[in-house]
Amino acid sequence: MEETRSGGSHGAKPTLEELLEELVELRLPAMAEQIPLVRMLTHGVVSRADFGLDAIADAKMAVDEACAQLVQLAELGTQLHCRFRQGADGLHVTISTRSNDPRPPSDRTFGWHVLTTLSRSVTAHCDVLPGGGAGIVTIELVLNPGTSA
């Protein structure tokens, strides 16, 4: 979009961290049959990060699950926005969509249990849009390469 530098601090000189950051993004229709595309990208990102085979499979399942939860909540015709960013504590995968049920997904479902089993950490939040009635729901996963065992 208009924001071409991943750090995106307006006009200010980017920090070293921002310059070195390799942000990967994908936007696609928030529909169940599009999720395999996110899976493929996830495979690409984590296998290039040289995750172990277990961790690669776990990452794909986690992203699958997060996307499926968000697609359920998404307003018809909106997009799923997926971002992959390497952080000091692991690979951060942030997935969000617009929903007219502005609440984060429940953390007491089996799906959430799946997410917590597969990731180092999972958080969800919802930013209610001005006027209420709709919001941006986000799930953020932190994934580990699984090679330290």
Q: Is 121 in the site for another protein (CB under 8 A)?
A: no
Q: Is 53 in the site for another protein (CB under 8 A)?
A: yes
10 or 108: CB nearest another protein = 108
Q: Pick one of 26, 66, 70, 78: the residue that binds another protein (CB under 8 A).
A: 78
11 or 77: CB nearest another protein = 77
Q: Is 1 in the site for another protein (CB under 8 A)?
A: no
**What does the block give as tokens for 117?**
């089993």
- The answer to whether 65 and 118 are in contact (CB under 8 A) is yes
Q: Is 31 in the site for another protein (CB under 8 A)?
A: yes
Quote the least distance from Cβ 33 to another protein, whole Å: 6
Taking Cα atoms as reference points, which of 73, 93, 75, 96 lies closest to residue 84?
Answer: 93
Q: Is 149 in the site for another protein (CB under 8 A)?
A: yes
Stretch that binds another protein, among 14-22, 44-52, 82-90, 136-144 (CB under 8 A): 44-52
- List of residues contacting another protein (CB under 8 A): 29, 31-33, 40, 43-44, 47-48, 50-58, 60-61, 64-65, 68, 72, 76-79, 106, 108-111, 113-114, 117, 145-147, 149
